[in-house]
Every structure is written in C-alpha cells, then in structure tokens.
C-alpha cells in the first residue's frame, strides 16, 4: 500500500467512524414491514456512499427490499472482484436488554455498539470506504470492482437467486469477496472456508377445534402442548445426536486431517463457556465443541408457543401448539432431504389425538471453499499485510445462503474474509464491532484489491 493511501486512511479514521455511526442509526430491519421506509433509506445511504466514491451506482428494486449495485470497470486488464454484503439487520428484541437504544450507536472503549455493527454494516461498509480511499488517492481502483449489497439476507435472501439470474452478465467477475463472518481471535485474522447450511421449519400441532376448559375436558382429550413437547424431546438421542432417522446418512465425515487442523487452532472451551455464562457445553458425543459448532450438523428448537402465556393463570386446554425448528447442515446434506426426513419423523411419532403439519421456512446448502483458487492468495496476503500474522483457515457454523448461489448461478467462488469477533453478539442485544477491526478491515479491503490486481484476469 502506498504511503499516500496509508496516510489518507489514518487521517480519515474519525470521518470513517462518523459515517459508520450514521449508517448504524438507520433501523433497516428487513423482517418488519413497519421498518420498510428505514430499510429503503438504508439502501439509499449505501448507494450515496458508493456514488460519492466514484462508482456507477444503482438502487435496483426487487419484489422485496432493493439491491444496491455499483461498479467501477476502468481496469480492463485486471481481474474483477464482486463484493457482497447486506445492509439489513435482525430485529432488536428484547429491547430492555440493550444498554443504549439499538439504533443509537455508542462507543464503549474500542467497540461501537449498535444493531448491525458487526452483522453486517460495519464489515460491509469497510469495503465501501476502501474503494473511496483508493479512488481519492489514485483517481482509479487497482482492479475492477462490483458491489452487490442486499437488504434481505437476514430473512433468507428470498429474491436474490432470481436477481443473480436476471443480472448474470453484469455480475460476471473473477471472485466474490464477502466480509460477513468472524476473525479467529483478536489480532488473528482468518479466512472462513466452511459454512453450515440451514433447514428452517415450523411445526404446527392441532388438537380440538377450539380451546377448552381444562377442568371440564382435561383427561379426555390430547393436549397439543404436551404432544409437541414429546415430539421435540424425541428429536435428540441421549448421546446428544439427532434422532431423526437418516439425518447423518449423507454427512461427509470429518477426516483425520480436518480434525487435526481444528485441534491445531487451539479452541479454548473454557473461555467459550465463560463468554456465554454456562458451566457445561454438552452436545453430540465424540466431538469437540469447535467441531460441533462449525463442522457437525445440528437440530435446535428456536421458538415455541401455544396456550396461555399472559398475566396470571388461565385453566385452558389449548387447541394448538407451535414450534420453530432449524437444522444446521454440513456437506453433502441437502435441505430438501432433511426437510423430508424431519417431517416423516414428526408425523411417524405423533402422539395420539393430535394432527401436525411441518412447513418449510427456508433452506440453504452448506459451503466448503476451494482453498486452491489463486484469488485465495490475494486474501491471505492482504490479511497478513494488515495484521502482521498469517491468517488461519477456519469454519463457521453460521449460514450465508448466497454463497452457494454465487457458485450455482454464476459459477463464482467466494472468499470469506471476516472482520468480526466471536463475542460480537450478532443477532443479540448489545451487538458490537471492534473499531480497530473496522479500520483494519478498510485496510484489508484496499490491500485485497491491490493484491488482486497482480493476478491474471480469468
């Protein structure tokens, strides 16, 4: 990186932080229609930033929230990077647990605390600011750059696959770069080479046609909450494995080499437990915590409701009960397969007197990166330059469905260069992002573009 760029990036830090603060004041909660105006405003904010960086920028409508697309294609002999990120955020509940309001970004030491700070506004915006800085210093970028910043990632990207198909030619690139994951630890960067997939369903259990007096009917009719509890309790075996028949049939087993690579990362299980305030960390027998949270498939109940949950007591025998259940998938499980196996298991083990429906919310396959692609070197070099140490290859248990779509729809490999930290509280109250990571992320993005320009165009 040139001295001029280095100096500019350092001198711009207060202004970059202010711009991030402004972005974090926008309540772009994609799941909530009452925030549609905020979400649209957020797309415009990101578009304005890209436009002022000197990129040709469009806010492209979809049936849902718009996609922000921008491009600078002034380096015909250099490769093209397609930078993906998302400007939408998760809902903020429970509000009372936030130290400050979620859209009033607050500086606490080295952290900026706000919804979206790490997931994904802070990480995504690092790339926007890097492009701006490079353009200001040189009047051009070292390689061709395209941005696709969507507003529906947190609701499963329902309109993105058609968008990719409709804009296939425009989105042509040599590689996709995504910062929507974590580093290995503070001071230790990482490239995420594995993500888990997802199958998200709702289970609806129905008993009588209407709620009943539990004194007059209790004992004479099935209780859907009791039935649903039995169903959920039956989803795991005593050894912590998932009890759905065939769940592990297609799972690609971990090789000895993979397990040795995980072990070498030195995951601290005691620290893992301390950070989240638990004394034990049970799970599938025979695997380390790191393996269980990143490389093994899981099943969890995410929400459960039914009956009376208001103030006081109501002696009611509910007519229905409901649960949200999700599975994290690994290669080579498919969402379709797991959905069918889960549904069959629930229906085959239904307690007497109730009926049930299992409805799919959304699904996505797991991702395993090809580490041998030449563009991977651009990422590892960039991270090493900025952090001064070699990055590690790591897996994450989270899901970014579009990564599989980039491969299947556009034939593109993705490089996941995350700037978050494991304790950033993504999706939780008091979500944060390290301000140091933010500045280093801007540098790493600029450095990646410089490194990419050294590679031959595809």
CB of 365 to ligand BES, least distance (A): 12
Give the CA distances from residue 154 to residues 86, 186, 343, 405, in Å, rounded to whole numbers and listed in that order: 8, 25, 25, 16
Residues 6 or more apart from 241 whose CB is under 8 A from it? 248, 284, 285
Piece in contact with ligand BES (CB under 6 A), picked from 103-111, 177-185, 217-225, 371-379: 177-185
CB of 68 to Mn ion, least distance (A): 15
CB of 194 to ligand BES, least distance (A): 10
For Mn ion, give the closer residue by CB, 89 or 225: 89
Residues 6 or more apart from 255 whose CB is under 8 A from it? none
**Window 402 to 441, contacts with ligand BES (CB under 6 A):** 426
Residues in the interface with ligand BES (CB under 6 A) total 15
119 binds ligand BES (CB under 6 A): yes
180 binds Mn ion (CB under 5 A): yes
For Mn ion, give the closer residue by CB, 174 or 431: 431
Residues in the interface with Mn ion (CB under 5 A) total 3
Q: Among Mn ion, ligand BES, none, what does residue 174 contact (CB within 5–8 Å per kind)?
A: none
CB of 315 to Mn ion, least distance (A): 41
Per-residue binding letters, 189-208, with ligand BES (x by CB under 6 A): ---------x----------
**Which residues lie across from 112 on neighbouring strands?**
107, 433
Per DSSP, the chain holds a count of helices (H) and strands (E) of 14, 18
Cβ count near 42 (within 10 Å): 29
For ligand BES, give the closer residue by CB, 212 or 426: 426
**Window 327 to 386, contacts with ligand BES (CB under 6 A):** none
Q: Among ligand BES, Mn ion, none, what does residue 396 contact (CB within 5–8 Å per kind)?
A: ligand BES
Q: How far apart are the first and last CA of the chain?
A: 24
Piece in contact with ligand BES (CB under 6 A), picked from 167-175, 176-184, 231-239, 295-303: 176-184
DSSP 31: T
Round to whole Å and give the CA distance between 46 and 160.
Answer: 18
Residue nearest to ligand BES (CB): 398
CB of 39 to Mn ion, least distance (A): 15
**Window 150 to 169, contacts with ligand BES (CB under 6 A):** 153-154, 156
User: How is the beta sheet containing 197-206 ordered, strand by strand?
Assistant: 298-306, 320-329, 197-206, 355-364
For Mn ion, give the closer residue by CB, 154 or 174: 154
180 binds ligand BES (CB under 6 A): yes
291 binds Mn ion (CB under 5 A): no
Point out which residues bind Mn ion (CB under 5 A).
119-120, 180
Q: Give the interface with ligand BES as residue ranges (CB under 6 A).
A: 119-120, 153-154, 156, 180-182, 198, 396, 398-401, 426
């Amino acid at each position: 990186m040139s001295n001029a760029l280095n100096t500019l990036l350092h001198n711009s830090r207060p202004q970059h932080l202010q711009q991030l603060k402004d972005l974090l004041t926008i309540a772009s909660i994609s799941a909530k229609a009452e925030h549609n105006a905020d979400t649209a405003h957020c797309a415009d904010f990101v578009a304005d930033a890209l436009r002022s960086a000197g990129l040709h920028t469009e806010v492209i409508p979809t049936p849902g929230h718009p996609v922000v697309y921008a491009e600078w294609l002034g380096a015909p002999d250099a490769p093209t990077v397609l930078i993906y990120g998302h400007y939408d955020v998760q809902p903020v509940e429970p509000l009372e647990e936030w130290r400050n309001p979620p859209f009033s970004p607050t500086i606490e030491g080295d952290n900026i605390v706000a919804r979206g700070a790490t997931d994904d506004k802070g990480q995504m915006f690092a790339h926007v600011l890097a492009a701006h800085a490079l353009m200001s210093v040189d009047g051009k970028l070292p390689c061709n750059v395209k941005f696709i910043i969507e507003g529906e990632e947190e609701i499963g990207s329902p309109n993105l696959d058609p968008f990719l198909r409709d804009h296939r030619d425009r989105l042509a690139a040599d590689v996709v770069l995504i910062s929507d994951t974590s580093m290995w630890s503070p001071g230790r960067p990482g490239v995420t080479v594995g993500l888990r997939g997802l199958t998200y369903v709702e289970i609806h259990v129905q008993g009588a046609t209407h709620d009943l007096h539990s004194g007059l009917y209790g004992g004479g009719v099935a209780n859907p909450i009791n039935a649903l509890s039995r169903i959920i309790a039956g989803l795991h075996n005593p050894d912590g494995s998932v009890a759905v028949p065939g769940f592990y049939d297609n799972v690609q087993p971990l090789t000895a080499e993979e397990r040795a690579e995980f072990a070498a990362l030195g995951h601290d299980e005691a620290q893992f437990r301390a950070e989240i305030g638990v004394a034990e960390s049970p799970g599938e027998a025979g695997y380390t915590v790191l393996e269980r949270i990143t490389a093994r498939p899981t099943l969890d109940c995410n929400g459960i409701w039914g009956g009376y949950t208001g103030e006081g007591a109501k002696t009611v025998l509910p007519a229905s009960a409901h649960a949200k259940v999700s599975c994290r998938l690994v290669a080579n499980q498919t969402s379709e397969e797991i959905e069918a196996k889960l549904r069959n298991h629930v229906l085959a083990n239904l307690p007497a007197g109730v009926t049930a429906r299992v409805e799919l919310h959304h699904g996505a396959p797991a991702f395993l990166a090809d580490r041998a692609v030449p563009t991977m070197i651009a990422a590892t070099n960039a991270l090493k330059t900025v952090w001064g140490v070699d990055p590690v290859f790591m897996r994450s248990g989270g899901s970014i469905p579009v990564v599989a779509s980039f491969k299947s729809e556009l034939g593109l490999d993705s490089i996941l260069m995350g700037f978050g930290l494991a304790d950033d509280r993504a999706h939780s109250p008091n979500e944060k992002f390290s301000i140091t990571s933010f500045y280093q992320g801007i540098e790493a993005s600029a450095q990646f573009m410089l490194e990419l320009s050294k590679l031959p165009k595809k």
